[in-house]
Structure 1
């Protein structure tokens, strides 16, 4: 999803660009702009960013409120509504379903467990997993939520976020230690994110579970921030193995990105 800075203003008089229903396109565009703005906006803000006239926005928002997808706050601003939660949960499950064949390829070629995770608010949630053929079980499982500071996928997902946003997130969640290796200060975590940006992948080295290493990369242009990872015993996921796994992770992430884009476009 493009950011609010990247999203182009709508042309009020233009027909629906896809040959579909213009009011639907506008309504979904407004929902995405609300999400970009943090989930709560005023009508004037939406008018300024979308280019649509206030009466049109008011009519669309009134419909979205009636359907439960938007709610009007006591301060007269509009916030994303609770009915979107059900849609989001269903979409997350489908995202995991679409990812599984790609994760299976990772398992086939590396022998280790492959995971897909999303950034959901301040937490990382695992939405798909294909387990290793080996008997050792990882801490991860589909549906589990963890704090991003102790995971490779969390580092990958936050690597490009502005430092002030990362600090704010860490202040909200705290940085509890899962193991003695967990990073427990914002400075150490921000330094780790610099390393992620420089090398292009993130690691969890015994930070969530002693004896387990994880390597993660983001899925480029995913519809929501997503990352895939390989996790396994530290004795197998060595630096030498990492050098082999990272190019494969990047290739699979690109393939998954293409698959998601094709699905989103109805292909």
Structure 2
């Protein structure tokens, strides 16, 4: 808490003009999101440069977040996201998956294949919802499973519009191990694949995560948190010939899911 006179009002605690919100809360959440975008650990000067806020204001907000357990101060005096956020994130992911399930069920009905929803959590893809295909031979991805983005359709869909330098930095942190002989294992190859996603409007995982499995994915436009949905099945059923008929279904469901998710967000 500030040590100045109690008669002095902290301007950051005043409501934000036109929003009806409290400025200090908005700033605190903005700092948390900037920390997440930076990989989870930053210094005060980096936050000041990124946010445009003065160092004393950032220091005061960070002290409060540390006291609440949402941020930790490291021995090197940098700040990292704190463990208390994990419970919030897990609960939010489960809720997001619950909202998505009826839309994934529609995908299964219209395509016949397993439908998934995934988020980018830090440098990893995490699956938050799935509705399985009714076929006896079907794909199964455990909800909560984490994979690296470079070998998945949802990873490509989520990173398609991320600046190239940020994509390269992510790949440098995670590495690009080969899950199969068809996995893309170079940054240049992955950036070319992202260019294709932007051009076509959808992403493909063609035996790259698992041999014999083909996946088509699209991002959920204007989602409150970056999300993608996909269908996956045996390569013999999810063929290139069927792709032009499956992609519009994916895109329509993604657009409807986007509207539903935005309606759950505060105005």
TM-based fold match above 0.5:
yes
Structure 1 regions of 5+ residues with no counterpart? Answer: 1-10
Residue of structure 2 in register with 1:153 after alignment: 154
Q: How does 1:59-74 map to 2 (within 5 A)?
A: 59-74=60-75
Instruction: Quote the offset at 1:168 in angstroms.
Output: 3.0
> Structure 1 residues 20, 195: closer, same or farther in 2, change over 3 A?
closer
Instruction: Indicate how the Cα distance of structure 1 residues 20 and 157 shifts in structure 2: closer, same or farther if over 3 A, else same.
Output: closer
For the structure 1 residues 188 and 54, does the alpha-carbon distance in structure 2 shift closer, same or farther, using more than 3 Å as the test? closer
Residue 178 to residue 26, structure 1, CA distance change in 2 (3 Å): closer
The aligned residue for residue 239 of structure 1 is 240
Structure 1 residues 55, 216: CA separation in 2 closer, same or farther (over 3 Å shift)?
same
* Counterpart residue number, 1:35: 36
- Give aligned pairs, total: 256
Q: Answer yes or no: is the 8 Å Cα contact 1:12–1:53 preserved in 2.
A: no
Unaligned runs of 5+ in 2: 1-10
Question: Distance between the aligned counterparts of 2:29 and 2:66, measured in 1?
Answer: 13
Q: CA deviation at 1:80?
A: 2.0
Equivalent position of 1:167 in the other structure: 168
Q: CA deviation at 1:48?
A: 5.0
- Per-residue deviation, residues 152-205 of structure 1 (Å, max 9, x unmatched): 111111222233332333333333322222222333222222211111111011
SS of aligned partner of 2:178: coil
Whether 2:138 is the aligned partner of 1:113: answer no
Q: Does 2:188 match 1:187?
A: yes
Partner SS state of residue 19, structure 1: coil
Inter-partner Cα distance in structure 1 for 2:130 and 2:63: 40
- The list of structure 1 runs, each at least 4 consecutive aligned residues, that deviate by more than 6 angstroms after superposition, is none
CA contact (8 A) 1:12 1:51 kept: no
TM-score by length of 1: 0.85
- Corresponding residue for residue 6 of structure 1: none
SS state at 2:242 partner:
helix
How far is the alpha carbon of 1:40 from its aligned partner? 3.4
- The separation in 1 between residues aligned to 2:167 and 2:51, in whole angstroms, is 28
Q: 1:233 to 1:177 in 2, by over 3 A?
A: same
CA offset at residue 151 of structure 1?
Answer: 1.2
Deviates more, 1:172-181 or 1:207-216: 172-181
Residue 224 of structure 1 corresponds to 225
More deviation, 209-218/30-39:
30-39
TM-superposed deviation, 1:73: 2.8
Cα distance between partner residues in 2 of 1:44 and 1:189: 32
Q: What root-mean-square deviation, in Å, do the aligned CA atoms of Structure 1 and Structure 2 show? A: 2.4
* CA distances 1:99-155 after superposition (whole Å, capped 9, x unpaired): 111111111111111000111222211110001111113142211112222211111
Distance 1:165 1:33, change over 3 A: closer
Stretch deviating more after TM superposition (21-30 or 227-236) = 21-30
* Aligned pairs (5 A) from 1:38-57: 38-47=39-48, 49-50=50-51, 52-57=53-58
Match of 2:137 in 1: 136
Q: Secondary structure at the match of 2:241?
A: helix
CA distance in 2, matches of 1:79, 1:18: 29
Q: Do the aligned partners of 2:13 and 2:23 also contact (CA within 8 Å) in 1?
A: no
Contact 1:229 1:249 in 2 (8 A): yes
How far apart, in 2, do the equivalents of 1:205 and 1:104 lie? 23
Give the SS at the match of 2:231. strand
Contact in 2 for aligned 1:12/1:52 (Cα 8 Å):
no
